[in-house]
Structure 1
Amino acid sequence: MFIRHSFPIYGSLSNILKGNPFCMEVLVDSWPCFEAVLTRPLVISKTLSDPLTNSYSFFLRDESKIQVVLEQIDWTKAFEVQTMQDSFRHALEIEATQRGIAMEISLLKTYQESLNEETGGKQKQRNQMYRETCISPIHAPIVDGSWSFGGSPASLNYVSLCLKSMPSSCVYDSEGIPVSWVLCDHYGAMRVLYTVPQHRRKGLGSLVSSKLAEAMRGQGMLVHCHVEEENIPSQLMFKSLGMQETTSRLLWARCDLKGTKD
């Protein structure tokens, strides 16, 4: 139950054990029997508008512990919260309202690789026009520029860190230009899947996703992703790769301090 309802916690622990490139720490209310677990940044970014680095996740066995968790968040700076327990949406909204802070909240469907299948067995046949490999960090500006949350120094720094420390997958055209890619975020989820418009409808999204799943399995990671409810094409693609929708959704709360009351 713990892993199924808390992929972000599991991903945080995995990253910490691998050198902690995203500088996270884990707090529990008691040990070894705990009712609440929280991951948070070891060092709060000095940049006020950096919710990607100031990231929190939590898992509660005892729902009455939610106020304790909310008190651990630095509400004076931009931040994000990710949890698989979407029942806490109301508690986050109330806390943000009481503090006069504008918060954007999304619920994303979660897909996990079936334990009975391997996504690698459903890869698209390679097209000789393209070269498959991981994404070089030198291409971080291209990746960041395609991302709906990109376009800032903070997002570029985050993407660069992901490319340096997490597995990724990319196909390049004959001139060495990235045309389709996907990477892993700091919680170990597939993220930032993108194919440039002129190269779409060629199965490249499926190809890079299946190659990344293969790399994630090789590193002992849980192969999973979160998809917006309205993004039907991506949902169908991940299903075609053998991934199954879970009963848990990702609650993603984001506060960038815009619209915050004085």
Structure 2
Amino acid sequence: MQILRCPAQLQLLEEALRKSLPTTLPVLGTVMTVARGNPASHEVLVDSWPHFGIVLTRLRPEEHRDPRDYYTNQLAVFYRDKGALQALLGGTEAVTGARAFQIMGMQDGLDEAVREVASARGLKVETIQHRALISPEPPQPRFSMPPSSMPRCRIPPGLRLAPVSPSHVPLLNATWALGGNARSQAFLLGLVRTLPSACLLGPRGRPVCWSLLDGQGCLRHGYTVPAWRGHGLTGVVVAAIGRELHARGFPVYGAVRPHNTASLRALQAIGFLPQPGTFYMILGTPK
């Protein structure tokens, strides 16, 4: 596999990946994040250049510190044919028996292929399916107001829009379905420190609603505390990040569990459109 480091190469790859949206969403988002400062310390690999059969994004090897940390060891894959995928998985660039991982992709067959290889190498595998949604325009909360005045005018009294602070991470970790441990807290802290985020703070400075951006350029980790649900707050925080992403040329997208109907409705209410296919998140951990 060849690592792409040249800005011109990354730009050409970005243009090629855009032609295959939405299937390329997690890979495209990572490539764009790498090309714009690389705050998540990822790298981009292809099997050949400029004509490629597969693209892999992954954490840079020198950043691996904990072999059981699948939160940080994130990979994303897009392939033009299954032969290229099998060739990748047959090596050690993506899956080894000694390291936990999290692989993301939106192609049918990825789950089965990764599961087969990982299981054969002694890893425990779990697949979490999401529904991807894209906002074709800068997202707007459901109240119709100009973007410049919307958050200030429509936020309920006593709430304030702000970035998520590192001091808020324990709360985020406690409410995250995959969180609640030291590894997940360290991962969330890294996102908060390096990537865009938004939250609404209550009178005592405690977040009541929030959303983060991950290294794949995906709006994730959204949550509203029960007492504040039903007020359209998700639209405010997502729109705040989404407009920034749109201005920088990123696809504005999120990934939501299919059964999370409240979040699906909240995103569609501000202009997000459900995409075909499944957004796979495949977790592998050493037994």
TM-score by length of 1: 0.91
Match of 2:174 in 1: 145
Q: Is there any run of 5+ residues in structure 2 with no aligned partner, and where?
A: 1-18, 144-149
Say if 2:35 is the partner of 1:6: no
Q: CA deviation at 1:39?
A: 0.9
Give 1:231 deviation, angstroms. 1.0
Match of 1:86 in 2: 108
Query: Which residue number in structure 1 is paired with residue 88 of structure 2?
Result: 69
Secondary structure, in 3 states, of the residue corresponding to 2:179?
Answer: coil
Between the aligned residues of both structures, percent identity stands at 28
Alignment of 1:58 with 2:80, yes or no, is no
Q: Does 1:45 align with 2:64?
A: yes
| Backbone CA RMSD of aligned residues | 1.7
Q: Within 5 A, what are the aligned runs for 1:93-104?
A: 93-104=115-126
Match for 2:139 among 114, 119, 135?
A: 119
User: Please, which of 191, 197, 200 is the counterpart of residue 171 of structure 1?
Assistant: 200
**Counterparts of 1:19 and 1:203 in 2: how far apart (Å)?**
33
Query: Counterpart of 2:268?
Result: 239
Asked if 1:196 is matched to 2:225, the reply is yes
Shift, 1:230, TM fit = 1.0
Could you tell me how far 1:60 is from its partner in structure 2?
A: 0.6
Distance 1:38 1:244, change over 3 A: same
Number of equivalent positions: 256
Instruction: Give distance in 2, aligned partners of 1:106 and 1:6.
Output: 18
Give the CA deviation at 1:22. Answer: 1.6
CA separation in 2, counterparts of 1:151 and 1:120?
32
Matched with 1:160 is: 189
Amino acid at match of 1:138: S
Alignment partner of 1:94: what SS? Answer: helix
1:163-186, Cα deviation, whole Å (9 max, x unpaired): 122111100011211111011111
Cα distance in 1 for residues equivalent to 2:181 and 2:244: 29
Q: Does the CA contact (< 8 Å) of 1:110 and 1:250 recur in 2?
A: yes
CA gap 1:133/1:168 in 2 versus in 1, 3 angstroms? same
**How far apart in 2 are the matches of 1:39 and 1:68?**
16
Deviations 1:20-76 (A, max 9, x none): 222111111111111111111112523122101111111111221112221222331
* One-letter amino acid matched to 2:210: W
Q: Distance in 1 between matches of 2:227 and 2:108?
A: 37
Amino acid at match of 1:214: R
Looking at structure 2, the residues matched to 154 and 219 of structure 1 have their Cα atoms a distance apart, in angstroms, of 30
**Range with greater deviation from structure 2 (234-243 or 153-162):** 153-162
Paired residues of 1:119 and 1:243 also in contact (CA < 8 A): yes
CA distance in 2, matches of 1:121, 1:255: 37
C-alpha offsets along residues 134-181 of structure 1, whole Å, 9 cap, x if unaligned?
Answer: 112232222222211222222122111111221111000112111110
Contact 1:55 1:81 in 2 (8 A): yes
- Please list every run of 5 or more consecutive structure 1 residues that lacks an aligned counterpart in the other structure: none
User: In 2, distance between residues paired with 1:94 and 1:30?
Assistant: 25
Distance 1:75 1:220 in 2: 37
Q: Distance in 1 between matches of 2:232 and 2:219?
A: 17
**What is the Cα deviation at residue 224 of structure 1?**
0.3
Q: Deviations over 1:180-235 (max 9, x none)?
A: 10111110101111111222222222221222212222332211011111111111
In structure 1, give the amino acid aligned to 2:179.
G
Distance (Å, rounded) in 2 between the aligned partners of 1:214 and 1:236: 19
Deviates more, 1:174-183 or 1:142-151: 142-151
The TM-score, its normalising length taken from structure 2, stands at: 0.83
Structure 1 position 219 matched with structure 2 position 248:
yes
Aligned to 1:34: 52
